[in-house]
Structure 1
């Protein structure tokens, strides 16, 4: 009952805060104006992700006070997440040099890894338990940094990043509960509730965008939660990795193909598969709901099977990603020649 009350309160608080942020953004003229590389056609308030940040950190504070989460871990995680969100909010108002954003992302990622205790659990691979040692620590920090940028790259059409975050968080919560039986599943579920409150304003056609303050925060939180889950059930890490497949494949494929052509990886563009698909089909809502369907009908069952120990994590991740890679190429991910439909 306590969790249900918190879920409802988190969603309501996020929705209320999003409305207030929208009013502020309009009065402060914090608007995202359409340009040649945009996927929207009307000036739209941005920065709404701040509502997710405040509501989730408030929820985490309540959980820490109640003793549901370790307090030292929460404080360091909270500071790291707040740093990434703050830099994103500043960048929303006045673009920052890429190097400063990257340094903030790395600092936040390292803070999260330290919060988890630095030493990471062995990673299950094809029946083996692989202890990565200090290389694993560097890999974990790099992983969270990539997750931060991943959500920034993929937050380009109405509702997409929000729906993806909710799908991954709820799927991760289910896998966490099935694998361990502990109450820690409530943390990603509460995060999903905070994002759902924002989605009420962001669902196509969006009344407000989350901005870098929100997208970077989403990536950091999901990366942190996936590693935290791995401490209690190492196989669940692969479950989270499977659940993030749509964003992971689209962003990685697009980035690799653009870098191979000599393009700047941090330069704004609209060459992602989801952007091409939204132009081809003329609908943000259709693509956003298609991603929700892929997450629910394809990726979630595989993630659950891994969490229950029915399938190997690494092998199942490869199987899960194969059709996603095919879709990425089908929808011209990273292909400059097909930027326009």
Structure 2
């Protein structure tokens, strides 16, 4: 499995890099993101790199499934097929939205349909809720959570390398968990493939970015990551599934509540996220992304520790420690960098 995961990751990285080189002239022409008052970039930059990330991940994953994995059960195969179909649907939705913004309701309707397909397929294999909770109620709650997760990944993709800094550690951790038998091998392959796609994209997105991910990438990445976290939770890793994406969850959710409290139209673009406020408070883009990367590595270590702990009280304590780390970073981002205030 180690060789299979490594080959899948490397193959996806190479495919993504090659696809970006081939696609970039077209994206430069048809999918140019022009800066505005809410943007973090200053010059027009092509977007749509997510086409290469998703395409490479799905292609490398399909090859790995075909040649290196034992046959999947009917439920497991249906769940992975549902993820692939839903990811492609969201990618198509995002590609259209990148070029011609869609109204809110059609966009949300497609997201609910895609997430619903994945949730139903996944919960038919394994559930994470208690036995007394009706399956329909669990699925409804998971669909709402999944749609929010897909959107918050999109909201948080507003700074060079931010999505890579968030999801590369998450996917690496999930791949490691699969190697340890804490996650099914098929989901380990999917995590390794997504990791490779992100690594292939990273050189083009490092500050100052020459290419953005776009909605065509952030939406399906959120869907795939959400599915993997759902499977992890269903296999006894609920605390780990909370810890791995905790920075994104906290930044996006707290920002949403703050905007609701101020009576803002939360569906409109803004610059209120903590990572955006950090750049306004004097932090450079590399400094912000570097702190997020270090935080996510810390959260990944805590997630791994939580998987070896059986005591619910200790698991809660580990999650609380992760939340404290996230809170520390958010507090730093919300205040002027040392020396800026005095100046």
TM-score where L is the length of structure 1: 0.88
Question: Which residue in the other structure is 2:253 paired with?
Answer: 252
Question: Can you give the 5+ residue segments of structure 1 that lack an aligned partner in the other structure?
Answer: 124-128, 334-340
Q: CA deviation at 1:315?
A: 4.4
TM superposition shift of 1:172: 2.4
Q: Which residue of 1 aligns with 2:340?
A: none
Q: SS where residue 207 of structure 1 aligns?
A: coil
**Among 11, 23, 26, which residue is 1:24 paired with?**
26
> In 2 relative to 1, CA 177–130 (structure 1 residues): closer, same or farther, beyond 3 Å?
farther
Unaligned runs of 5+ in 2: 336-342
Look up the match of 2:266.
265
3-state SS, counterpart of residue 281 of structure 2? helix
1:196 to 192, 195, 199: 199
Is the Cα–Cα contact under 8 Å of residues 175 and 239 in structure 1 kept in the other structure? no
Partner of 1:224: 227
CA contact (8 A) 2:54 2:194 kept: no
State the shift of 1:155 in Å.
0.5
In the alignment, the residues of structure 1 paired with residue 181 and residue 279 of structure 2 have an alpha-carbon distance, to the nearest angstrom, of: 37
- Equivalent of 1:136 in 127, 135, 138: 138
The one of 198, 205, 209 aligned to 2:208: 205
Say if 1:18 and 1:198, in contact at 8 Å, map to a contact too.
yes
RMSD of aligned Cα (Å):
2.2
Distance (Å, rounded) in 1 between the aligned partners of 2:61 and 2:181: 22
Structure 1 Cα separation of the partners of residues 103 and 263 of structure 2: 20
Deviations 1:197-217 (A, max 9, x none): 111211111110011111111
TM-score (norm 2): 0.87
1-side partners of 2:282 and 2:310: how far apart? Answer: 38
Once the two structures are superposed, residues 12-71 of structure 1 have per-residue CA deviations (whole angstroms, 9 ceiling, x without a partner) of 00111122222211133x211111111111111101111111111212322443455543
Q: State the match for 2:302 in structure 1.
A: 302
Q: Which moved more, 1:262-271 or 1:300-309?
A: 300-309
DSSP 3-state at the match of 2:37 = coil
8 Å CA contact retained: 1:64, 1:74: no
- Mapped contact 1:179–1:308 kept (Cα < 8 A): no
Question: CA shift at 1:142, angstroms?
Answer: 1.6
Corresponding pairs, count: 325
Q: Give distance in 2, aligned partners of 1:270 and 1:33.
A: 16
Is the counterpart of residue 215 in structure 1 residue 221 in structure 2?
A: no
SS at match of 2:154: helix
Matches within 5 A, 1:1-341: 1-28=3-30, 30-66=31-67, 67-68=69-70, 69=72, 70-118=76-124, 120-123=126-129, 132-134=133-135, 135-178=137-180, 180=182, 183-184=185-186, 185-231=188-234, 233-234=235-236, 236-296=237-297, 298-309=298-309, 312=312, 313-332=315-334
Measure the CA separation in 2 of the matches of 1:246 and 1:273.
10
SS at match of 2:268: coil
Q: Is the 8 A contact 1:34 1:40 kept in 2?
A: yes
Give deviations 1:100-128, integer Å, cap 9, x for gaps: 111111111111112214474245xxxxx
Using the alignment, how far apart are the partners of 1:132 and 1:302 within structure 2? 29
